[in-house]
């Protein structure tokens, strides 16, 4: 790697990124009042420009239009990030410590890093063919004990595409070849080692209805080869996990079973069941089984979610929606389109927008959101769908997804509004650290 690459920057500051999130108990007023000498002005920026050097510095992003997501937009505002990578303050009249590094964002848009809530980054590696395909363990239809993090490759070149495209975090999940594919994780998309990238693991159990598990096992005349069989397999897995718990309670020496223990996390509400379902009837089957076992749920893809919107509202089920930026490659996705987000929004269904990378390259997440706006989705709702809603669905909204005090300083500065096709990512900042600069960084594979 050459100087200035993502990997080089990571090596220099890996320790900074790996620190645990520690919510601050002091008020913002106290925090920003200590040692603050300069207001956020262009003059102060001229006196001291930011650079990539040093460690443990405070960072002030001044003058930009800040889209906080949680509290609306602020014009000519400042975002102050402390030396631990957390946001201290957001506002238009904030004093800046003398030793802070400053980024002048006048005329630019400052947003939280985007979050893709359904990807196969690092488990289906770009440009590596079969060697880089580790997302589907299709030797058994039920593999809840499998973990995406154990197959994740931090060197997947698509992570660079993500950073350059303003995506700073994603849900990385096993594929949909199995009825239960395994445990997904919410990862920050920057780092040399997995441990410094984990935001939450596990953060969901991947399951699948419909065509994919039918095709994988039905082709060889194995169970399950029908939708009935898929539903039975899912139910039996939950029953087996409950029976396992009873056996362990009666006899602590009973052999451990990683698959059953993983499903107990779903049954106990620790993580949601995130079910791949395109067709309306598959969505309804997933919801029916979820109610039977009292589990939290997220519908993945939801191509025909607009047909069952009343049920989604009734049971308060969120949807990781998409991808719509694809051809109708199989019967299940004939109804795909960018009209669905506006329909779900109108009825009050929480949803995020996804690329399902590598189905759609991860950097086109913002394109998907913009096309949804063209088809009637409110602009702010579209931004929320790839920031705060995605963070909530992925179980990390206490850390990322909006620009507000106490959250991690994962921020992207755009040259213009991100839905304007002419706009570019100017800088990507993760925990207060500039990891990509359009004018200075030479990102290499």
Question: Which residues, 6 or more positions from 229, have their beta carbon under 8 angstroms from its beta carbon?
Answer: 214, 223
Are 363 and 121 in contact, with CB atoms under 8 Å apart?
A: no
Distance from C-alpha of 159 to C-alpha of 170, rounded to nearest angstrom: 10
Domain spanning 6-111+403-437 has what CATH number?
A: 2.30.40.10
Comparing 20 with 125, the larger pLDDT belongs to: 125
For the residues 214-232, what does the mean pLDDT come to? Answer: 96
Which DSSP string corresponds to 66-77? EE-SSS-EEEEE
Q: What is the predicted pLDDT for the residue at 50?
A: 34
For the residues 202-212, what does the mean pLDDT come to? Answer: 98
Q: What is the predicted pLDDT for the residue at 53?
A: 39
Q: What is the predicted pLDDT for the residue at 181?
A: 98
Report whether pLDDT(172) > 90.
yes
Q: What is the predicted pLDDT for the residue at 440?
A: 86
For the residues 396-406, what does the mean pLDDT come to? Answer: 99
Report whether pLDDT(192) > 50.
yes
pLDDT (tens digit per residue) in 278-318: 999 999 999 999 999 999 999 999 999 999 999 999 999 99
Q: What is the predicted pLDDT for the residue at 329?
A: 85
Distance from C-alpha of 359 to C-alpha of 299, rounded to nearest angstrom: 18
Q: What percentage of the chain reaches a pLDDT higher than 70?
A: 86
Lowest-confidence pick of 8-22, 95-109, 195-209, 403-417: 8-22
pLDDT (tens digit per residue) in 113-140: 999 999 999 999 998 888 899 999 999 9
The reply to whether 114-393 shares the fold of 6-111+403-437 is no
Distance from C-alpha of 224 to C-alpha of 216, rounded to nearest angstrom: 9
Fold of 114-393: TIM Barrel (3.20.20)
Are 157 and 120 in contact, with CB atoms under 8 Å apart?
A: no
Are 206 and 180 in contact, with CB atoms under 8 Å apart?
A: yes
pLDDT (tens digit per residue) in 38-77: 454 433 333 233 343 344 689 999 999 999 999 999 999 9
Q: What is the predicted pLDDT for the residue at 445?
A: 41
Coil/strand/helix, residue 57: coil
Q: What pTM did the predictor assign?
A: 0.88
Which DSSP string corresponds to 256-294? P-HHHHHHHHHHTTSS-EEEEE-SHHHHHHHHHHHHHHT
Average pLDDT, rounded, for the chain: 89
Q: What is the predicted pLDDT for the residue at 130?
A: 86
Closest CA to 22 of 435, 434, 431, 433: 431
Kindly list the domain boundaries of the chain, sorted by start residue.
6-111+403-437, 114-393
């Amino acid at each position: 790697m050459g100087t200035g690459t993502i990997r080089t920057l990571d090596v220099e500051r890996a320790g900074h990124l790996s620190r645990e999130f520690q919510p601050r108990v002091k008020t913002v007023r106290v925090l920003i009042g200590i040692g603050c000498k300069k207001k956020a002005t262009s003059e102060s920026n001229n006196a001291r420009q930011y650079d990539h050097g040093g460690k443990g510095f405070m960072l002030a992003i001044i003058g930009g239009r800040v889209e906080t997501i949680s509290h609306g937009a602020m014009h000519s505002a400042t975002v102050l990030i402390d030396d631990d990578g957390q946001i201290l303050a957001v506002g238009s009249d904030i004093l800046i410590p003398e030793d802070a590094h400053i980024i002048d964002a006048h005329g630019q848009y400052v947003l939280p890093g985007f979050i893709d809530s359904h990807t196969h980054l690092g488990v289906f590696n770009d440009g590596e063919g079969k060697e880089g395909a580790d997302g589907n363990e299709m030797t058994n239809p039920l593999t809840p004990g499998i973990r995406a993090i154990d197959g994740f490759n931090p060197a997947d070149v698509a992570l660079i595409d993500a950073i350059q495209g303003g995506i700073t975090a994603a849900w990385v999940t096993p594929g949909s070849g199995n009825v239960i594919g395994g445990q997904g994780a919410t990862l920050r998309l920057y780092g040399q080692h997995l441990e410094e990238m984990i935001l939450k693991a596990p953060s969901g159990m991947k399951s699948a209805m419909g065509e994919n598990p039918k095709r994988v096992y039905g082709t060889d005349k194995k169970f399950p080869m029908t939708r009935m069989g898929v539903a039975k397999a899912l139910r039996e897995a939950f029953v087996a996990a409950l029976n396992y718990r009873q056996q362990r309670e009666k006899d602590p020496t009973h052999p451990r079973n990683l698959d059953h223990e993983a499903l107990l996390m779903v049954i106990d509400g620790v993580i949601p069941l995130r079910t791949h379902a395109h067709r309306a009837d598959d969505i309804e089957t997933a919801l029916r089984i979820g109610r039977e076992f009292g589990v939290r749920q997220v519908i993945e893809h939801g191509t025909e979610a607009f047909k069952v919107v009343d049920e989604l509202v009734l049971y308060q089920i969120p949807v990781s929606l998409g991808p719509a930026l694809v051809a109708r490659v199989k019967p299940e996705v004939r109804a795909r389109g960018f009209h669905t987000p506006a329909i779900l929004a109108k009825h009050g269904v929480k949803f995020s927008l996804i690329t399902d990378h590598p189905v759609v390259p991860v950097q086109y997440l913002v394109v998907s959101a913009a096309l949804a706006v063209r088809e009637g989705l409110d602009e702010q709702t579209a931004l929320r769908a790839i920031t705060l809603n995605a963070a909530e669905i992925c179980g990390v909204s206490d850390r990322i997804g909006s620009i507000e005090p106490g959250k991690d300083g994962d921020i992207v500065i755009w040259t213009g509004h991100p839905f304007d096709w002419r706009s570019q990512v100017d800088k990507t900042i993760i925990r207060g650290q500039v990891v990509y600069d359009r004018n200075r960084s030479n990102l290499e594979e």
